[in-house]
Amino acid sequence: MEIAQAQEKVASLKELLNRYAHEYYVLDNPSVPDSEYDQKLEELRRLEEEYPELITSDSPTQRIGGQPLEGFQKVQHTIPMLSLGNAFNEQDLRDFARRASQGTDKALSYVCELKIDGLAISLTYENGQFVRGATRGDGTTGEDITSNLRTIKSIPLSIKEKRKIEVRGECYMPHKSFLALNKQREENGEELFANPRNAAAGSLRQLDPKIAASRNLDVFLYAIGEWEADTVESHSDRLNQLKELGFKTNPEWKKCDSIEEILEYVEYWTKERPNLPYEIDGIVIKVDDLAQQEELGFTVKSPRWAIAYKFPAEEVVTKLKDIELSVGRTGVITPTAILDPVRVAGTTVQRASLHNEDLIRAKDIRIGDTVVIKKAGDIIPEVVRVITEQRTGVEEPYHMPDHCPACGSELVRLEEEVALRCINPNCPAQLQEGLIHFVSRNAMNIDGLGEKVINQLFNEGLIHTIADIYRLERDELLQLERMGEKSVDNLLQAIEVSRENSLERLLFGLGIRFIGAKAAKTLATEFETMDNLQKATYEDLIAIDEIGDKMADSVVQYFAEEKVSDLLNELRDLNLNMKYKGPKRVEVSNDDNPFVGKTVVLTGKMEQMSRPEAKERIEALGGKVTGSVSKKTDLLVAGADAGSKYDKAVELGITIWDEEQFLKMLEG
């Protein structure tokens, strides 16, 4: 393919994929199945790999997250991002409406919006391209988190408006993403996030964008900071304008003409908030007319034309009847409080996670206690505290068992972990959880093999290991309850299709500790075959930028197990693909190429090329980009404001290029 043809094809694919992404992540109305999107994305990846000069910052392939950052740069907000005053009850809202009406001669209309519980952000576009994203910070100075925000698929990387525009909104973590993240952290023995807001804020402040990319964050935009073409006269029109520009806005806003309508809106969402797929902590009320907003003005800290109504925290009292234990995929033993049923934040709660033995001791929780319950982040039921003054003396202190409740094996507490674990590889509870993980969407993605079906097959003795999934026969499946001919045929077809999955799906499905979907993709890309990965040493693994000490140790230990080798041999015999099917690394052997076999570090701000673009170009030419300077570093590329890495490179006598020299060498 000629370069002109490739350029035209890349442009066409980018436009198509960005439209598909907008339909899926912004409009929630996809026009094509996921497989069609994946196929087009893979085609674009292959073209960009063959023609790296065609890679641009707005390409859908650039959302995965680039090099880890050294730190966050400060960003000055031209127009301050002020916080709002708070209202906590009906009288506070009536007082706000009264003050607003006294500040203007004309009748007021208001816009009520859901107050998304996340992190306030600012997005800047120049010449139609997303160039900077920042946190609110103290309102006047935020932090540059562009690399992390670029990974969020509902944020457009390019828009049709070519004049400079800055838009503002809230970045948040949907309930589904929050639950999945905490489940993974619990299995890894890591501290859990208390609520989605903390999880979102923690994700956006990661120096490694790949971590933010793995967290499945989302945004709602609701304001424009700077825009020379801004001609709207009301906030309601501005929300519609943001939507027309291609930004994701929250659809639940409402225009209200009186305080009574505002109160009705507040009452409705106070009841309905548990049914939302994201967390809200209140309602924002704004005067709609922008001229009236300007007339009302600001106090020192907040605008007089807007206020945030905050929902009261709901805590209820119930009885803790018992404590049950569950065994996770990695053997973590999790205690769960069994409660007298009670309504909390709109739903009936009968169970609450107690996480680990240390929490039970810290809160002195006993069976039979009267306890206070709330939903952490309005999602996960938790025991807040014990009402000790209501104890009668019959309450029983709880002690974690010494042996696994599922298999009877002795439990252990690994170093630096708070959780107890069952380390019996044949524990039935772990086996079932492992099977459920193996067939899940991000792993082998076998439609029709959900949790209930896996448990049914396991209990019937039809599957014990993941290899058994590929030995299932039609006649034996037809004997099971709720298994008709069509569902069985569809299931067997889905199993057959999964044999051809690329290596990274199989790696993730195996459930290697600390190896998530992103790390599995990294390993598959690097080693290309299961055989190569099985032979990899700790040194081979740790040399990969995205693989840390714990990951490398875990992979080596996993493949050293004889039962793992036996399982992989079984899977090979069952014709499962053991090779990576994604885009391959470019092999370069030109002796005149200054990047072949070289270890390169990028530092400072580059003017003509982003760091991710520079990294892609270097790797395409056979070089390796790392994040820190050491004696093994061959070259440092230093942009503007280079810091400690530059000083260390000088100290070690490492070759240093400025951006101009680097670009000349790329062109050559």
The low-confidence residues of the chain, meaning pLDDT below 70, are 1, 25, 28, 34-35, 64-70, 300, 313, 345-346, 376-379, 583-592, 668
pLDDT the model gives residue 158 = 92
pLDDT the model gives residue 363 = 94
pLDDT the model gives residue 593 = 79
The token pair at 533 is: 């990965």
The token pair at 482 is: 């709720």
pLDDT the model gives residue 268 = 94
Amino acid in the structure at residue 416: E
pLDDT the model gives residue 212 = 87
The token pair at 217 is: 């964050």
Length of the chain as a residue count: 668
High-pLDDT (> 70) share of the chain, %: 95
> Tell me: the pLDDT tens digits for 338-397?
999 998 866 788 999 898 888 999 999 999 999 999 876 556 788 999 999 999 999 999
pLDDT the model gives residue 583 = 55
CA distance 449 to 495: 9
Q: Tell me which of 14, 40, 115, 210 is the catalytic residue.
A: 115
Residue spans of alpha helices (H) in 501-655: 503-509, 517-527, 530-535, 538-542, 549-560, 562-573, 611-620, 644-652
Residue 373 phi, psi dihedral angles, 5° rounding: -115, 145
CB 659 within 8 A of CB 639: yes
Q: Within 13 Å, how many C-alpha atoms sit on residue 66's CB side? A: 22
pLDDT the model gives residue 376 = 63
CB 281 within 8 A of CB 117: yes
Record the pTM. 0.54
Tell me, letter by letter, the H, E, C secondary structure of 209-275: HHHHHHCCCEEEEEEEEEECCCCCCEHHHHHHHHHHCCCCCCCCCEEECCHHHHHHHHHHHHHHHHH
Question: How many CB atoms are located within 10 Å of the residue 450 CB?
Answer: 13
Cα separation values, 310 from 55, 169, 270, 278, 636, Å:
45, 18, 10, 16, 51
The question of whether 115 is a catalytic residue gets the answer yes
Q: What is the largest CA-CA distance in the chain?
A: 84
The token pair at 39 is: 């196929």
- Residue at token pair 């040194």: 539
Q: Which long-range contacts (CB under 8 A, 24 or more apart) does 301-304 make?
A: 301/82, 301/83, 301/85, 302/82, 302/83, 302/84, 302/85, 303/82, 303/84, 304/99, 304/100, 304/103
